[in-house]
Amino acid sequence: MITIQAQVRITAQISAEVIDALTATEKTQLNFGRFSPETAGGEVLVTPQGNRSSGGTVILVSGINNPASFYITGQPDATFSMSIPAGPVTITNLNNSKTMLVTDFTSEPHAGMGVGTLRGGSEIVNIGATLIVGNANDNPAGIYRGSYTITFDYN
């Protein structure tokens, strides 16, 4: 004889996993190095790989220059997305408030959705950009500084 019941009760399972927090630490600052704008200015380019070049009348001078470098940590083998500035960022002369624009930010790995993997729980991201330089009157000697925002997210 089969017994039919109008109600059945079952105990179901629930699970969740907390993963390591995603962190980013700036290891080196984006530095276009030393240069002279000369008569017409132009641009200075620093690539994510650390190559530096100039255009226009800008003359590069020896010294320290480098791409920005960030150390990203989190859940091993997780993927992450990255966004870098899409528009120009202004840097300002500390002595006289003259400005230059930083444009065309690039990164390695390339910015976007799902671009990086935290192999072993970490990854290095490098950022390069182009500095637009005016002539010697527009951009007199001095140190120029500014800041920008990069966003890292788990996928």
The 10s digit of each residue's pLDDT in 65-114 is 999 999 999 999 999 999 999 999 999 999 999 999 999 999 999 998 88
Which CATH number covers residue 102? 2.60.40
Contacts of 43 (CB under 8 A, 6+ apart): 54, 55, 56, 58, 130, 131, 132, 133
Domain range for 107: 23-154
* Contact yes or no for 52/45 (Cβ under 8 A): yes
pLDDT for position 112: 86
Query: Do the beta carbons of residue 32 and residue 53 sit within 8 Å?
Result: no
How many angstroms separate the first and last alpha carbons of the chain? 55
Tell me if 88 is assigned to some domain. Answer: yes
Q: Tell me the pLDDT of the chain averaged across its residues.
A: 94
Query: 131 forms bridges with which residues in the sheet?
Result: 44, 102
> Is 94 a member of any domain?
yes
| Domains of the chain: total | 1
* pTM (2 d.p.): 0.88
